[in-house]
Amino acid sequence: MTTEFETRMAELGAKFRVRAASERELIAAALAGPDFPVIKDASHRLAGIAATLGHSEVGRAAEEVEAAIDGERPAPEIRGLCDALVEALDEIAEANPA
């Protein structure tokens, strides 16, 4: 029997997968510019929710991107961190197909 808590967590997980896919596309498009403020905002949003829902790798990667942008790290370094974040987001999509 599924508890109300389990049902709610499953709903939140499904919503996160949709959001993760959207943020992934946003980050990928912003890298073309590059538009680091857009990437930073997306990373901040992801870092805030990912770990809470059990996606610690995404949370860590998002925090690293945000910190690198805040620290004005070189663009190639930020791009590499963004690639790692996008890869982590892809893993969520692959593990939980819609």
Cα 58 from Cα 81, distance rounded (Å): 11
Parent domain of 24: 4-95
Q: How many domains does the chain have?
A: 1
Predicted model pTM = 0.87
pLDDT digits (tens, 9 = 90+) for 36-82: 999 999 999 999 899 888 899 999 999 999 999 999 999 999 999 99
The domain that contains 53 carries what CATH number?
1.20.120
Note whether 87 and 64 are within 8 A (CB): no
pLDDT digits (tens, 9 = 90+) for 6-31: 899 889 888 998 999 999 999 999 99
